Structure 1
């Protein structure tokens, strides 16, 4: 089944104190590390950026970039813009994973487990000790709701409205919860 990943990377990183996408991690930056990890799991990698971003300056290829003109309205608006762009494509994939740009530690084996349960009429997400994590896989049936989403907190409202379609996969991978909110979150970051 054809799938793609949509990396949400249009935030301002206010809690971080600057553009965390450019924070050094390994041989590159946080966003480059997340993009590389997502690329290990998906052949088709898309990144949602702000209108004023230049992909090359973020260490990204121009290919696969989706622009959110409403990024300052929150994650929900960025995802809405991203899914609207996906819906406009001539042959949309049946499943898209939402992956946050500050989460490079997700184990590829976790993604494989999620993909095994994915389908056009399902929402699949990992849980670690009962806590919901990322990436979250949305079947094509939910893309119109995501494109129309006006909530600022990402896709939570869409998931709540479609709870019967939600499949939660318990995993032991701490990478599904580990993100970067402050510079200290990068101190022991091995990828």
Structure 2
């Protein structure tokens, strides 16, 4: 399998968390950001992570992990800056698997499923989806999209590219709703933790 690089987008401001940093929230004894990074690293593919320069605590949390850190000095201008910085730091012009850093349910096998699909559909935009077909993450962006990524601005992210090239998008079904679970607010975290506690209780 081609060693497609993975780019974790972790430069967001957590603006809906009431002062807390969602990427440093505890998940099974470690910060969410660390959990996501380890999930990506376990694929064996090279992993880069786009980080805002004004959030040093995230860098501290990632200490010791074999990641290529990509600084995003203009992170406050929107998701486009993270994508542009990340792709600029990955030479070669090939595809990149992008994933958000606030997806606690994604597992290494989910990433591998999307990466494996790329071998069969190298020119397609691949998007992880829930079992019921709702599109989510991660998103594999083929190399031919790089010029359009460089032209993004503001809070345009992969969604803008997907909308523009909808006929070239292929969904990759992943178990349950793992492709969809992102946690943006304290209420999201409370509900998710309650669900995890319930699953643990039923399994015991």
TM-score class normalised by the smaller sequence:
0.7 to 0.9
Within-5 A mapping of 1:73-84? 73-84=77-88
Within-5 A mapping of 1:10-89? 10-17=11-18, 18-54=20-56, 56-60=59-63, 61=65, 63-86=67-90, 89=91
In structure 2, the partner of 1:130 is 133
TM-score between both structures, scaled by the size of structure 2: 0.81
In structure 1, the partner of 2:106 is 106
Deviates more, 1:21-30 or 1:148-157: 148-157
In the alignment, structure 1 segments of 5+ residues that lack a partner are: none
* Runs of 4+ with >6 A deviation: none
TM-score between both structures, scaled by the size of structure 1: 0.86
Change over 3 Å in CA distance of 1:173–1:9 after alignment to 2: same
Higher percent of residues as helix: 2
Cα-Cα RMSD: 2.3
In structure 2, the partner of 1:170 is 173
In the alignment, structure 2 segments of 5+ residues that lack a partner are: 198-204
Q: Report the Cα distance in structure 2 between the residues aligned to 1:124 and 1:42, rounded to whole angstroms.
A: 19
CA contact (8 A) 1:25 1:33 kept: yes
How many pairs align?
187
- Bigger Rg, structure 1 or 2: 2
